[in-house]
Structure 1
Amino acid sequence: MLLKQIILKSIKMNKFLLVLLFSTAILQAQVVLEPDSIGVVKSNDSLVVQQIVQRDTVPFKRYKAEGVSAVVGEYVILDSDIDKAYVEMQSQGMSIEEITRCQLMGKLMEDKLYAHQAKQDSLFVPDSEINGVIEQQLEYMISELGTPEKVAAYYRKDNIAELKKDLFEANKSIKLASLMQQKVIEKVEVTPEEVRTFFFSIPEEERPVFGAEIEVAQIVIDPEITQQARDEVIAKLNAIRADIIDNGASFATKAVLYSKDPGSNSKGGLYTSVKRDSPWAKEFKDQAFSLLEGEISEPFETEFGYHILYVEKIRGQEVDVRHILMFPEVSQQSIDAAQKEIDDLKTKIDAGEITFAEAAREFSDDKETRNNGGQLINPVNFDTKFDLTKMDPALSAQVYNLEEGEVSKVFTDRDRTGKSSLKILTVTKKYPEHKADYSKDYERIKQLALREKQIKVINKWQNEKIKDTYISINQDYQDCDFAGNWMKK
């Protein structure tokens, strides 16, 4: 039962976090919400009519007109915050059948308690960091809805400035809560003996079943890019640069027309809040922090292709930049040569003339995997194992039916910029679905044991802080069975 409770709480927290990190906390629109006779909540400005939930899902039969549901320290939770959470969950296709208003209220109060205590402990979040997040959120909203005006109207704001203000407060509260929670559990560790005690305290029939996993290796062959092709793309970028500098052409317009970066071309090549320690290519950051505001770089190369970069705004240790990415054309001759090379490699591997790992180390063009015999690393947990049910669909489709040691057919893979490579994959190890085994699954069991200990520490901290914090809960929620002692009984 203990393990089930841990997993259940983790699932619930993830569901709530998805909604509350963006929708509930952000959408602080002051709209009066009233139910009609069939459980549909309407806004009094007639802009939106959304069905919130079926009546048997929610333990209350009435809603107050923008009533205050709870106060935690300096933070107020409104009835509409909970209503909006349900709306947003439905819009994202999430099931709300098993999530009650009490559970949402409990999660909201937890978040507000963390944020309140973070301020008491003087935890600091730079405004520039919050502003960077807001810009990314607004860029996404505008890409989805079309214009800033439509975004403001959708969230029932008079203008973008008003929405930005709400976004700032909400994001700062979220970041403070996150920092506080990290601080609470940062020193929590588990010893081998604690892991052992945790595992053997679980009845055998209740021990978790771990899904099927595989380990995968790859060989990547990139078609050769000729010097002529490199020179041609550099010449194109120089021509664009000259048109902007000499004739006053718009960098943003040129990016929309010519940049091959799908992450920024629709935004005129814009990336905001680039930091020195951010995970950009070194060459990209070198240019971003060596230019003055308004300057445009010469063409330069990264692993993604060739760029020119324009510094739009410098804000201390952060810069807003625009860039244009282009990459050289690959000739059919180069594609044919790459195809022959990888076909020959596959033939030799299948014939046993060379092992897959040896071929990867000697011939693969992928720098990240070739020295390790082509072994792929799971980006989620940095392990070599992949859960078949959670793999990238494109990768899963190539290896799903392979036996251990079998090599896939040659296939073409494209990265996010559209660059094509030829690949073969092999399954180096298969792990069938199985009930947890202490020796074989120690690391996974350790994570579960750590999670249980973290939950206990969090619950203890939460109840201690509840005692010292002003808490007021609306009478409609007095009968809720909260995980924490929010009623101070």
Structure 2
Amino acid sequence: MRTINKITILFTLFVAVFQVGAQEIIPEKEPVKKEPVQQGRKRIDGIIATVGDYNILDSDIDKSFLEMASQGVSIKDFTRCQMLGKLMEEKLFAHQATQDSVVVKDEEIKEKMNGQMEYMVEQLRSMEAVVKYFHKKDEDDLRSELYDVLKTQKLASEMQNKIVDGIQITPEETKNFFKKIPEADKPTIGTELEIAQIVITPKVTQVEKDAVINKLKEIKQEVLNGASFTTKAVLYTQDPGSRSSGGFYKINKKTPFVKEFKDVAFSLQESEISEPFETEFGFHIIYLEKIKGLDLELRHILMIPKVTDEALKEAKEKAQLIKKRIEDKEITFAEAARTMSDEKETRQNGGQLINPKTQDTHFELTKMDAEMYSEVSGLKDGQISNVILTDDPRAGKKYKILTVTNRIDEHVADFSKDYTKIRELALKEKQINAIAKWTEEKIKETYIKINGEYQKCDFLYNWLKK
């Protein structure tokens, strides 16, 4: 990776003001013609605004511009007034989160901070270089500021989630949303594919299973003797989604985890550690930390048994044989999936994949992940892919064959054909409106002060309470 790429990534990690995936940001009005603080003018850093318990410095705006630029976002027509408006929104969410006693676990923030610090050190080769790069006096100073940034962002994100939690959209609302879009502004839906797959999983020997079970039992005993489960999870778990947080998850009975995992989790008492148990991902042990109403706060360790070279060879040969039988018209792809695929989630539907982002069977070609795109983009309808070896960090090595069952060409959105996507857009608009209404109300009852020439800004919201 080139040095310039490392630097922009570091800024993204350190001052991630815009959390596009986690929150919707209401756009500001058109930039005001007269900018109160000119870009080329030398400024003295100081407090330019206060929102509740939070202060905003002039340098915070500079950091935010750097973060936008590092993500490739044009800042040419984006004013300091608009940036201040975004920062005040974030602080308002975070301030209200503390007022509403929204809980953010210090341990979770520290785990995320440690992960980011480790990455920055890896990129710049030493902690001293990272400290110098961010103009901090020492590592503690850097960690303190990064911790505050991450905690504020987490509080703001949790508050926004709380605001939109429970908001639903009805079919009638979806229909009215679509009707009000002018014909010329109807969204275009890119080319979409419907894809099916057959998965063959190499068989794991009992010897390898026993080795993993015994290791998990050993870890459990060490924890019972006083060792930290969190530390053991960081060291041993093969679940990439929870390794950095020490195996932590917060779940309830609606959380989309596999049944075997939830059955064990909900059978435990607080501070109890389960015996090793098996799911399709491997073997686990669970430590139940707390029961909070309908929610469980737990940690787990996942270990995946090793697959022998012989087992891999057998699985590949089986997949190749299935492919040949389909191509020879002995059996259809759907029939082969129902009778021979090892993936139970898709087996009953003839191998048909569900898009996890939209929960329907359509995959938009331009938004498909790079790996799947490379596997199916060149396939014609009904054509079968080569046998592909995948190595999922959580599920291990598997062989699969893919086919395109349907291709929908690019088209202007149609209410009946694209209902799911239109419904998501309608829901997003409703959530944005709810956040905007909440923001307007909270501004009225929150202490807000804007200093100096920033009082001349033309904000979207009534921050000046005129």
Query: In the alignment, what sits opposite 2:110?
Result: 134
Query: In the alignment, what sits opposite 2:203?
Result: 224
Match of 1:271 among 212, 223, 246: 246
- In the alignment, residue 354 of structure 1 is paired with which amino acid? I
Work out whether residues 195 and 445 of structure 1, in 8 Å CA contact, stay in contact via their aligned partners in 2: yes
Work out whether residues 389 and 397 of structure 2, in 8 Å CA contact, stay in contact via their aligned partners in 1: yes
Work out whether residues 11 and 66 of structure 2, in 8 Å CA contact, stay in contact via their aligned partners in 1: no
Work out whether residues 217 and 425 of structure 1, in 8 Å CA contact, stay in contact via their aligned partners in 2: yes
Query: In the alignment, what sits opposite 1:452?
Result: 429
Work out whether residues 272 and 319 of structure 1, in 8 Å CA contact, stay in contact via their aligned partners in 2: no
Gap runs ≥5 in structure 2: 1-9, 19-34
Tell me if 1:114 matches 2:93.
yes
Query: In the alignment, what sits opposite 2:54?
Result: 75
Q: How many residues align?
A: 429
For residue 71 of structure 1, give the secondary structure of its aligned residue in structure 2. Answer: strand
Work out whether residues 230 and 247 of structure 2, in 8 Å CA contact, stay in contact via their aligned partners in 1: no
CA distance in 2, matches of 1:115, 1:260: 33
Tell me if 1:389 matches 2:381.
no
CA distance in 1, matches of 2:51, 2:242: 43
Q: 1:342-362 deviations in whole A, cap 9, x for unaligned?
A: 222112222333222221121
Match of 2:15 among 19, 23, 26: 23
Instruction: Sort the Cα spacing of 1:163 and 1:366 in 2 relative to 1 into closer, same or farther, 3 A.
Output: same
Work out whether residues 130 and 168 of structure 1, in 8 Å CA contact, stay in contact via their aligned partners in 2: no
Query: In the alignment, what sits opposite 1:182?
Result: 161
Work out whether residues 71 and 471 of structure 1, in 8 Å CA contact, stay in contact via their aligned partners in 2: yes
Gap runs ≥5 in structure 1: 1-17, 27-55
Instruction: Sort the Cα spacing of 1:323 and 1:488 in 2 relative to 1 into closer, same or farther, 3 A.
Output: closer
Query: In the alignment, what sits opposite 2:309?
Result: 331
Instruction: Sort the Cα spacing of 1:284 and 1:448 in 2 relative to 1 into closer, same or farther, 3 A.
Output: closer
> Shift of residue 395 of structure 1?
1.0
Work out whether residues 24 and 84 of structure 1, in 8 Å CA contact, stay in contact via their aligned partners in 2: no
What is the TM-score normalised by the length of structure 2?
Answer: 0.74
Q: Which moved more, 1:155-164 or 1:82-91?
A: 155-164
- In the alignment, residue 118 of structure 2 is paired with which amino acid? I
Query: In the alignment, what sits opposite 2:378?
Result: 401
Work out whether residues 231 and 246 of structure 2, in 8 Å CA contact, stay in contact via their aligned partners in 1: no
Tell me if 1:349 matches 2:320.
no
CA distance in 2, matches of 1:445, 1:214: 18
Q: Which moved more, 1:323-332 or 1:131-140?
A: 323-332
CA distance in 1, matches of 2:335, 2:360: 21
Aligned-residue identity in percent:
44
Instruction: Sort the Cα spacing of 1:115 and 1:319 in 2 relative to 1 into closer, same or farther, 3 A.
Output: closer
For residue 216 of structure 1, give the secondary structure of its aligned residue in structure 2. Answer: strand
Greater length-normalized contact order (CA 8 Å, ≥ 6 residues apart): 2
> Shift of residue 104 of structure 1?
1.7
> Shift of residue 228 of structure 1?
4.4
- In the alignment, residue 392 of structure 1 is paired with which amino acid? D
CA distance in 2, matches of 1:163, 1:20: 15
Q: 1:17-63 deviations in whole A, cap 9, x for unaligned?
A: x999961569xxxxxxxxxxxxxxxxxxxxxxxxxxxxx9x953325
Tell me if 1:468 matches 2:460.
no
Tell me if 1:197 matches 2:173.
no
- In the alignment, residue 121 of structure 2 is paired with which amino acid? L
> Shift of residue 69 of structure 1?
2.0
> Shift of residue 364 of structure 1?
0.8
CA distance in 1, matches of 2:234, 2:101: 38
For residue 328 of structure 1, give the secondary structure of its aligned residue in structure 2. Answer: coil
Q: Which moved more, 1:199-208 or 1:478-487?
A: 478-487
Query: In the alignment, what sits opposite 1:412?
Result: 389
Q: RMSD across aligned C-alpha pairs, in angstroms?
A: 4.5
CA distance in 2, matches of 1:172, 1:255: 23
Work out whether residues 24 and 81 of structure 1, in 8 Å CA contact, stay in contact via their aligned partners in 2: no
> Shift of residue 457 of structure 1?
3.4
For residue 204 of structure 2, give the secondary structure of its aligned residue in structure 1. Answer: coil
Tell me if 1:363 matches 2:340.
yes
What is the TM-score normalised by the length of structure 1?
Answer: 0.71
